[in-house]
Amino acid sequence: MTQRAQTELVLCVRVTTLYRLERLSKWITGSPATTQHAQDQFTLNSLYSKGFNATRTHAETPMSSAGSAQIPMPIETMNRFRISALAALVVLVGSLGAQSPQSTNAPAEPRPVSLDALVEEIRDRHPELAFYRAEVAAARAGVRGARQWENPELSVEVGSKRVWDRGRGATLGDGAVWSVALAQPFEWPGRVALRKAIANQQIEMAELGLAQFQAALANRARTLGRSVVAAQEQADATDEVAERFQALLAVLVQRDPAGVTPVLDQRIIEAHAITLSRQAAEARRAVQASLIEINQLRGLPAATPLAIEGALTVATNLPPLSLLLDVAATNNFDIRLRQAELAQQGFQVQLARNERYPRVTLAPFYAAEKANDEQRIVGLGVSLPLPLWHQNRAGVEVAAARQQQAEASLRTICLEVERQVTGHALALETRLKEMARWRSDAPRQLREAAILADEHYRLGAVPVTTYLEMQTRYLEALEAVLATRAEAIEHRQQLELLLGVALDSLPAR
C-alpha cells in the first residue's frame, strides 16, 4: 500500500468511527439518529469521489434483519458488546494513525560519512587551498620570467643638416638626417641560469608549502572527526545513565517514604541526574562545536547537518625511535623547506657575485644624410657600465648574511623536529603500554555492571551508595578510556605529520 493510500484509509476509518460513535450514543440514549457532521460528511464525499467505499454505511436496526432467526439479547449485554467492539476499532485506528506519516516536511537525517571520505572532501574543498595553489602558479610564472631575455630597445633619430662655406658664407646645401638603432642587452654568462635556479627553488618551496598545508589540514580533520566520535559516545553513555536515573526517580516518587533515609536517597539520585544531564549537554555542545569547524573546513555553511561514523581504534605498531628520527630528517616538511631556502640563498650569493660584472649592450645602427652630398653609415655600437664606484659589494654581503640565517634556521628546525618526534614517540609508547593493561571489553563490562546495579537497586539488593558509585565509575572509566585513545591517536597523527609518511609504511619494532 502506498503512503497516500494508507493515509486516506486511516482518515476514512476515523470518520467512520466518529459516525458509528454518534449513532451508538444516540441509540443507547434512545434519541433519534442524526446525520454526520458537515466536516466529516465533506471528508467522506471527497473520499467517495476518489473511489473509496470503505466508509459506506447501511441502515441498521437494533434487531437482526427480517427473515432470520431473532435471539433475544439483554440490552446491557448488547451495549457492553458494542462498546467493546467500538473500543477495539478505536485502538486499531490509533495504531494505523501512528504508522501513518506525521509530516512530509520533516528534515531528513544526514547520511553518515566515514572519516576517510570526510578528510578527502576537506583536502579538495577547503577555501584556503586556492591561496597555496595560486602561490605555486605564481612561482611557475616566475620561472618563465627568469629565463626570458630583456626586450630590445629601438631608437630613431630625425633631424636637418645645412652645409655652408665659412670663407664665403654661401650655403652649399640643406637636407634631412636620420638614424635607426636597435639595442639588445646581454647578461653576463651564468646570470640567467642562476635566476632560473632561484625561481625553481621558489617552485619547490611553494609545492612543499601546499603539501604541508594539505597534510596539516588532513590531520586537523581527523582530530576533529575523532573528537566528534568520542564526544558522541560519551554523550550517549551519559544520556543512558541520566535516563536510568530519571526512570528510577519516577518509580521512587510513587512509593511512600518510610523515614528520612528514602527521601535523602531520592534527593541524592535526583542531584546526580541533574549533574549528568548537564554533562551530557556539554558533550553535545562539544560535538556541535567540532561539527561547525568541520563544516567550515569543508567550505560549507556552519549549520550544515553532518553525521560521522567510525570508532576510536588505535594502531599498536610503533617503529623504533632511531628510525623515526632518520625519516624525519629527510621527509619533514619544515626541514625540507629550510633546505630549499638554504639552497636558494646559496644561489642568491652566487647571483650577487655575478652581478658585479656589467651587462653588455649591442646596438647595430643605420644612419643617412642628404645635404651637400649623400652619406650612409652602417655600424655596431657596444655599451657597458664602468664599475668604478658601484661593484655590488653590499649585495654580496647581504646575500651572504641571508645564507647564514638560513643555515642557522635549518639547524634550529632540525633540533625542534627531533624534540617533537622524540616527545610524541615516547608519549605514544606510554599510552600504548597503558592500554595494553586494559581488557579489550572493559567499557562493555562496566556498562553491564551499571545496568546490573540499577536492576538490583530496584529490588533492594544493593544500597544507594553502591548504585551511585557504579554509575559514576562507569562514566569516569569510559571518559578515561576515550581520552587515552584520543591522546594516543593524536600523538600518532602528530608523528605522521612530522615524518611526512604514514607509520604503517615503516617497520615496527
pLDDT digits (tens, 9 = 90+) for 280-309: 888 889 889 989 989 888 888 888 888 888
What's the domain range around 481?
116-149+200-357+393-505
| Average pLDDT for 171-187 | 87
Q: Are residues 87 and 120 in the same domain?
A: no
**Residue pointed to by grid coordinates 597555496:** 132
Beta-carbon neighbour count of residue 180 at 10 Å?
14
User: Is residue 406 in a domain?
Assistant: yes
Each residue of 56-76: pLDDT tens digit? 433 333 443 334 444 444 555
Q: Where residue 216 sits, what CATH number does that domain have?
A: 1.20.1600.10
Indicate the pLDDT class of residue 460, thresholds 50, 70 and 90: confident
Per-residue pLDDT for 344 more than 90? yes
User: Is residue 173 in a domain?
Assistant: no
Give me the pLDDT at residue 250, please.
Answer: 81
Cα distance between residue 62 and residue 78, in whole Å: 10
Return the C-alpha cell found at 171: 650655403
Each residue of 124-143: pLDDT tens digit? 888 888 999 999 999 999 98
Per-residue pLDDT for 14 more than 70? no
This prediction has a pTM of 0.68
User: Is residue 379 in a domain?
Assistant: no
Cα distance between residue 249 and residue 269, in whole Å: 7
Domains in the chain, number: 2
User: Is residue 380 in a domain?
Assistant: no
Give me the pLDDT at residue 140, please.
Answer: 92
Cα distance between residue 14 and residue 245, in whole Å: 39
Cα distance between residue 44 and residue 50, in whole Å: 10
Q: Are residues 410 and 352 in the same domain?
A: yes
Cα distance between residue 480 and residue 446, in whole Å: 13
Bridge pairing between strands 153-164 and 308-309: unpaired
Q: Please report, rounded to a whole number, the percentage of residues in the chain having pLDDT higher than 90.
A: 28
User: Is residue 384 in a domain?
Assistant: no
Task: Indicate the average pLDDT of the chain.
Answer: 79
User: Which secondary structure element, helix H or strand E, spans residue 341, and what is its range?
Assistant: helix 333-354
Cα distance between residue 192 and residue 211, in whole Å: 29
Helices (H) and strands (E) in the chain, counts: 12, 6
Sequence-distant (≥ 6) Cβ neighbours of residue 270 within 8 angstroms? 245, 249
DSSP letters for 5-51: HHHHHHHHHHHHHHHHHHHHHHHHHTPPP-PPPHHHHHHHHHHHHTT
User: Is residue 143 in a domain?
Assistant: yes
- What is the CB-side half-sphere exposure of residue 171 using CA atoms within 13 A? 6
114: helix, coil or strand? strand
Sequence-distant (≥ 6) Cβ neighbours of residue 206 within 8 angstroms? 132, 135, 136, 138, 139
Give me the pLDDT at residue 6, please.
Answer: 53
Sequence-distant (≥ 6) Cβ neighbours of residue 382 within 8 angstroms? 360, 361, 362, 363
Q: Are residues 336 and 397 in the same domain?
A: yes
Q: Are residues 416 and 474 in the same domain?
A: yes
Indicate the pLDDT class of residue 7, thresholds 50, 70 and 90: low
388: helix, coil or strand? coil
Q: Which residue has the higher pLDDT, 423 or 111?
A: 423
- Residues 122/124/125/131 CA torsion (nearest 10 deg): 110
Return the C-alpha cell found at 351: 647571483
Cα distance between residue 139 and residue 203, in whole Å: 5
Return the C-alpha cell found at 203: 617552485
Give me the pLDDT at residue 48, please.
Answer: 43
Q: Are residues 88 and 35 in the same domain?
A: yes
Give me the pLDDT at residue 156, please.
Answer: 93
Q: Are residues 88 and 131 in the same domain?
A: no
User: Is residue 16 in a domain?
Assistant: yes
DSSP letters for 273-318: HHHHHHHHHHHHHHHHHHHHHHHHHHTS-TT----EE---------
User: Is residue 107 in a domain?
Assistant: no
- Lowest mean pLDDT, pick from 108-117, 256-265, 343-352, 371-380: 256-265
Q: Are residues 271 and 339 in the same domain?
A: yes
| Average pLDDT for 479-493 | 91
Burial of 111 (0-12, 13-18, 19+ CB in 10 A): exposed
Give me the pLDDT at residue 46, please.
Answer: 45
Bridge pairing between strands 113-114 and 171-186: unpaired
Candidates 399, 385, 393, 398; CA nearest to 356 is 393
Q: Do 129 and 214 contact (CB within 8 A), yes or no?
A: yes
Max CA separation in the chain (angstroms): 166
Q: Are residues 404 and 452 in the same domain?
A: yes
Give me the pLDDT at residue 45, please.
Answer: 46
Per-residue pLDDT for 47 more than 50? no
507: helix, coil or strand? coil
Q: Are residues 132 and 85 in the same domain?
A: no
Q: Do 175 and 161 contact (CB within 8 A), yes or no?
A: yes
Per-residue pLDDT for 104 more than 50? no
Give me the pLDDT at residue 362, please.
Answer: 92
Q: Which residue has the higher pLDDT, 72 or 397?
A: 397
Per-residue pLDDT for 164 more than 60? yes
Q: Are residues 124 and 95 in the same domain?
A: no
Q: Do 142 and 205 contact (CB within 8 A), yes or no?
A: no
Q: 40-69 burial, b if ≥16 CB within 10 A, otherwise e? A: beebbeebeeeebeebeeeeeeeeeeeeee
Return the C-alpha cell found at 400: 651572504
Candidates 362, 336, 114; CA nearest to 209 is 336
Q: Residue type for 491, please?
A: H
Q: Residue type for 367, please?
A: A
- From residue 484, alpha-carbon distances to 122, 288, 480 in Å are 26, 22, 6
Give me the pLDDT at residue 30, please.
Answer: 47
Q: Are residues 95 and 129 in the same domain?
A: no
Cα distance between residue 391 and residue 120, in whole Å: 54
Candidates 258, 310, 270, 336; CA nearest to 499 is 336
Per-residue pLDDT for 85 more than 80? no
Return the C-alpha cell found at 454: 540499577
Q: Are residues 211 and 138 in the same domain?
A: yes
